[in-house]
Amino acid sequence: MNNLTQLPEWEQLASHQKTACNTTLSSMFDNDPDRAKSFSLEAGNIFLDYSKNHVNKDIMANLFRLARACHVPEHIFAMFSGEKINFTENRPALHVALRAPLHDSLRLGKHNIIQDVHHILNKIEKFVDLIEKGQWKGFQGDKITDIVNIGIGGSDLGPVMVVEALKAYHSTGIRPHFVSNVDACQLLDTLNTLNPGTTLFIISSKTFTTQETLTNAHSARDWFLQSANKEDIRKHFVAVSTNADAVSAFGIDTDNMFEFWDWVGGRYSLWSAIGLSIALTIGMSNFRSLLKGAHVMDEHFRTAPLESNLPATLALIGIWNTNFVGAKNHAILPYSQHLSRLPAYLQQLEMESNGKRTNQSGHYVNYSTCPIIWGEVGTNGQHAFYQLIHQGTPFISADFILIAQSPYSIKMHQDMLIANGIAQTEALMRGRSVQEAEALMLKEGVDLQEAKRLAPHRSFPGNRPTSTLFLPELSPETLGELIALYEHKVFVQGTIWNINSFDQWGVELGKKLAGQILSDLRDKNIRNHDSSTNHLMERYLKFRKN
């Protein structure tokens, strides 16, 4: 592909930018009573209103032309066909296969991998059934009551987010716990609440070499062996991995290893055996509903024309805001307490996928790629950082995620929650002028001189772009659709930015240096680094000694 910024479609969008941004969002609504209808879209159980963005019909038409110029439809076909779109690691990215029904076929060479996926799903189902019915006994003959998932990154963020999101669907009676940080306090705080005879540990690591995960796993094993014998490990430790030799060396029976494949990226892996902790908590029927919801969005993404394609449209709105409107920060604002882990999950999904500066030709790009992703649940965030979004100097775009019905019914709570979410999108769009602020204070009885003094402080520029995603309920199926929607959004944006959304080489350097520093600290060899690093190591050893 030619340099992205030299494409005629990009240049055309750049020519629209000044006019669009000099036109206020409120005036766009005032001039078009049908604007909300024109700039909204629905697929599966998800409704998207993107009318509160600086777009018009010409801009959207040019964005769709840009997507075609960047061969987005061809890339979608390539991903679903199993082509090696992860070109730096020479492998496909086939998370969509993890939620495909058994009757589908997706071949790598002559092998139908859908058969492999369902073989592992059936193995998970049998295991979940044994645990749920109490037929899998611990070393003291008791049923399992608690599970501890030990992983990090994609082996933790996805499962913990889904388990939290689907609290209303916890059905097996198993209590879930998650340990990811190598900081010992997280592991010890968890272990201090558990009985080794009724606890099952899930060690989740594709290679079974991840430093943080294996450190926590060995410490968990040491804790367990204070009460049990080595032969009891097989009743209390299972692995989600591809490395049978390392799993066996740890002491886990490889019959209790749940496999997945190198075409499953970590941040796309909750649908695989990495989701074992999810299935053990919400039950296999609900886990399959989660997969079904994702597959619904997969099929929509695969077959819908760009103009009616929900992930593609959300992606293009992001391209417009990031590359033309100037929003380098993007907030994820779910109005559901159970989605409290979604912003962190999407941080990894988006920033690890598209936080790149090198295009597919190996050249540095001269345009912005992924914005900074952050957020918090509403209404908590309203009383924290919304002040910055409303009146601060950074220009921030946002996704509001609203859930219409809650399984927890207290009169007026849900109405108040949704009213707040909708109100914030209106406030960020309209703002309040100095004149309006002054008139409001005069109406409240403030004298004219004081009203003029305070008006600049009580005015808001508005014109802040937001998109609203509305779901009827937060169920396994709708959550599956929502997660898959964001996965495909990220893929479309990476395609347009001409980067590889499926590698993460930036993670590797810090890991390598950490290993070297750990070795040097143990050997008290403080000479191998720059003066700041050496000084920090010396300071640490001094604190530890004291």
DSSP output for 353-365: HH---B-TTSPBP
Cα gap 487→270, rounded to integer Å: 12
Cα gap 238→257, rounded to integer Å: 6
Cα gap 404→489, rounded to integer Å: 23
Identity of residue 455: A
Beta bridge partners of 405: 473
Identified catalytic residue from 57, 511, 535, 538: 511
- Which candidate, 329, 457, 484, 441, places its Cα nearest to that of 394? 329
Catalytic (active site) residue 383:
yes
Identity of residue 519: S
Cα gap 514→153, rounded to integer Å: 17
Confirm if 344 and 329 have CB atoms less than 8 A apart.
no
Cα gap 173→128, rounded to integer Å: 12
Cα gap 459→463, rounded to integer Å: 13
Cα gap 519→130, rounded to integer Å: 43
Catalytic (active site) residue 206:
no
Q: Is the dihedral of CA 94, 98, 104, 110 positive or negative?
A: positive
Cα gap 373→489, rounded to integer Å: 14
Catalytic (active site) residue 438:
no
DSSP output for 514-542: HHHHHHHHHHT---SS-HHHHHHHHHHHH
Identified catalytic residue from 37, 57, 218, 383: 383
What element of type H or E holds 479? helix 476-497
For the record, the structure tokens of 289 come out as 């509903």
What angle, rounded to 10 degrees, do the helices at 184-191 and 211-225 form? 30
SS3 track for 365-429: CCCCCCCEEEECCCCHHHHCCHHHHHHCCCCEEEEEEEEEECCCCCCCHHHHHHHHHHHHHHHHH
What angle, rounded to 10 degrees, do the helices at 284-303 and 113-132 form? 150
Identified catalytic residue from 352, 376, 481, 487: 352
- Pairing between strand 466-473 and 46-49? antiparallel
Q: Which long-range contacts (CB under 8 A, 24 or more apart) does 430-433 make?
A: 430/25, 430/26, 430/462, 431/26, 431/390, 431/459, 431/460, 431/461, 431/462, 431/463, 431/464, 432/458, 432/459, 432/460, 432/462, 433/459
* Active site positions, annotated: 352, 383, 511
